[in-house]
Amino acid sequence: MLNDQLHVLLTAGPTYEPLDPVRFLGNRSTGKMGYALAEAFAAAGARVTLVSGPSQLPDPTGPLIRTVRVETAAEMFAAAEPVAAEADVWVFAAAVADYRPAQVAAEKIKKSGETMMLELVKNVDIAATLGQRKRPEQFAVGFALETTNELAHAQDKLRRKNFDLVVLNSLRDAGAGFGHDTNQVTVLDAANQFVNFTLQSKADVARGLVRLILARLKTT
């Protein structure tokens, strides 16, 4: 641990990438898993900086949680980057848009013709970029939400983004993923060790993940 009190950087929720003043590209993430993790870490005595994309959830309460609201991937990176430099644990639970519109229209785009071409450009990969700067004493956890070849994609993400653990969600599991109050996950590490969490409330999954992360910290 870098400080007497564990400091956790936690990203949560979606990002919205504007197309014009009324439309955006986004995803179905609600932020429920990330917010549950923020509360679980705080309950364990950790100080939490929660960088949240657009979510209808109220800010988690408590003196140990600071919530920073952002909208786009670029804003999330700008908010997370300085915190990551001094945080002990990073947990990337946000569903960050991989791409954004190349041009944002100043006015609402009017309907015209039968098709519309939309050019997209790649967003910064927040976890991968910060992972390149991770120091040995820091601990990083990522989330992988997959629909096919789940295990292979999660293992690849763990390596590419310099995670210590990756939490795998499969949308093929009933009651797991976006929008649900429950979740079912598998946690993997670089040694291909697995910890399975059966379907349960996201609050219970969060408490289990926090216990697992804190246990790993004691052995590193």
Query: Can you list the pairs that 143-148 forms with residues at least 24 positions away whose Cβ atoms lie under 8 Å?
Result: 143/33, 143/92, 143/93, 143/167, 143/168, 143/169, 144/168, 144/169, 145/95, 145/169, 145/170, 145/171, 145/177, 145/178, 146/170, 146/171, 147/171, 147/172
- 27 classed as catalytic: yes
Encoded amino acid at 45, one letter: G
Handedness of CA 174, 179, 185, 189 (dihedral sign): positive
The DSSP letter of residue 15 is -
- Per annotation, catalytic residue among 27, 123, 162, 169: 27
Q: How many CB atoms lie within 10 A of CB 54?
A: 17
Burial of 10 (0-12, 13-18, 19+ CB in 10 A): buried
Catalytic residues: 27
